Structure 1
Amino acid sequence: MTRNEFERYLNNLLKPEQIKDFCPNGLQVQGSETINKVITGVTATQALIVRAIEENADAIVVHHGYFWKNESYVIRGMKHQRIKALLTHDINLFAYHLPLDIHPVLGNNAQLAKLLAINTTGPLELGNPLSVAVQGEFSQAISALNLTERINMQLGRECLHIAPPSNKPIKTIAWCSGGGQNYIELAAEQGIDAFLSGEVSEQTTHVAREMDIHFFAAGHHATERYGAKALGDYLQKELSLDVQFIDIDNPV
């Protein structure tokens, strides 16, 4: 498959033109014209690039790539080492940030719902089908302890739970993978029982306690691990490419 064909396929699938983002989506670093072997991962770290080189990959597809808004334009230090390795080994780097969060089937939020047995009911931002935060419900109300245990088991890490004074059962839940903790107020205003994200801020504790909503922080990396994997599995099936998901451990 050619590089241009691969990029067109990814763009048609993930539709990055539909949402304003903080970085360029699509091909970020050009490499080999022909793509046979693809590595997917969460972040285009040096460790992931090294693994891609070891696997003789032609392309890397990640959620977190490069060239973020407000970062320095200078290519030096860590960024220089990463880009130099990609160019030296003729490896294409493709990155899809928010488009991979919101995809209704392959996205990070959709995959979290699947893992945690949540029935998605719609966007958290009412009237916005491209909302990066979504809401849903469990088939039956569960306790915060049971949900904590489910998150820990499915994501393979200990989540942080901040309980409201009522410690009420959880039937409805909203979530946003990664750094989506600021959506907790919107969820609370809509009377949702719990909110889950990857990260937590100092003020999140106060919102949870004062607005009577459970909060769960399950890790930025852990909540965004499954979109890249699902995308890779889909590409392997649909395009008959050799695709391998590589998880570079990150405790954050």
Structure 2
Amino acid sequence: MKLAEFSNWLDALLVPAAFRDYCVDGLCVEASAEVSRVVTGVSFRDRLIDRAIEEKADCIIVHHPNGFWKSESQIPVGHFAERLQKLFTHGISLYGFHLPLDGHFEIGNNAQIAKALKLKIVQGFMQEGERTIGIIADAEAPLSKSEFLDRIQAGFAHGYQHSFLFGNEKIQRVAICSGSGANGIDEAIRLGADAFITGEIKEAVPITCEELGFNLVSCGHHRTEIFGVRALAEKISAELKIPAKFIDLDNEV
């Protein structure tokens, strides 16, 4: 498939223009005019490039386009230049999709987490631009705190990292925002959530949960964001008939 056609397909699927983001969303590096094999991963990094070369891929799609955040210079010097040179040498184009791959109601990180935990999506929350990035979802019936943790333990390959269970004894409505999404706690409470699932947390989060009487479980930034890029690879393979493979280079944070 032509790279331009592939870009159009991704833009139509993920609608990056609808999000207020703080990185490049879409094509970051154009190193080939064609897309014949795709590798996806959570973060742009050296080992992912090496794996793409091993897989003979000519396209990488990541959730974290490291080097292309708006706070970074994006000037091709130093280690960043070395990464780009490797992409061009091997004809590997690079895409990044950050918030669009959190908020998508089918293949987004949070929708896929809800699916893994057998929760039914009710609505989005945490507005970023024209779209939301978080998910509010319900269990079929109220869960005890231990049942809730068991379900998370089963839904995530590495289980959960921290649990702060100061809230309702029964949990049915769950707010989900992967990565560092715990800043949505106040909105989640207003929307009637009994608990919040996120990735990484800041120091104040356990205090907030204790003082507001709320339940929150963190499962790791990277480990809550494998879902979207994995689902995207599956969708590319199924709909475009382009071989696509998710590569998980685990990061405990």
Verify same fold: TM over 0.5. Answer: yes
Residues 188, 211 of structure 1: 8 Å contact kept: no
Q: Distance in 2 between matches of 1:117 and 1:229?
A: 18
Letter in 2 for 1:161: S
Q: Distance in 1 between matches of 2:46 and 2:150?
A: 33
Q: Distance in 2 between matches of 1:33 and 1:179?
A: 35
- 1:162 maps to 2:164: yes
**TM-score, structure 2 length as denominator?**
0.94
| CA apart distance, 1:129 | 7.1
| CA apart distance, 1:153 | 2.3
Q: Distance in 2 between matches of 1:239 and 1:125?
A: 31
| CA apart distance, 1:191 | 3.5
Residues 111, 135 of structure 2: 8 Å contact kept: no
Residues 185, 207 of structure 1: 8 Å contact kept: no
- 1:81 maps to 2:82: yes
Aligned twin of 1:119: 120
Residues 177, 223 of structure 1: 8 Å contact kept: yes
Report SS of the residue matched to 2:133.
Answer: coil
Report SS of the residue matched to 1:131.
Answer: strand
**Correspondence list, 1:129-208, <5 A:** 130-159=131-160, 160-164=162-166, 168-208=169-209
Structure 1 consecutive aligned stretches of length 4 or more whose deviation exceeds 4 Å = none
Structure-2 change in CA distance of 1:91 and 1:189 (3 Å): same
Q: Distance in 2 between matches of 1:153 and 1:174?
A: 18
How many residues were matched structurally?
A: 250
Aligned twin of 1:6: 6
**TM-score, structure 1 length as denominator?**
0.94
Residues 120, 137 of structure 1: 8 Å contact kept: yes
Q: Distance in 1 between matches of 2:130 and 2:48?
A: 33
Aligned twin of 1:35: 35
| CA apart distance, 1:92 | 0.3
| CA apart distance, 1:125 | 4.5
Q: Distance in 2 between matches of 1:153 and 1:78?
A: 39
| CA apart distance, 1:56 | 1.0
Q: What percent identity do the matched residue pairs reach?
A: 37
Residues 63, 228 of structure 1: 8 Å contact kept: yes
Q: Which stretch of structure 1 is more off in the superposition, 167-176 or 20-29?
A: 167-176
Q: Distance in 1 between matches of 2:244 and 2:142?
A: 38
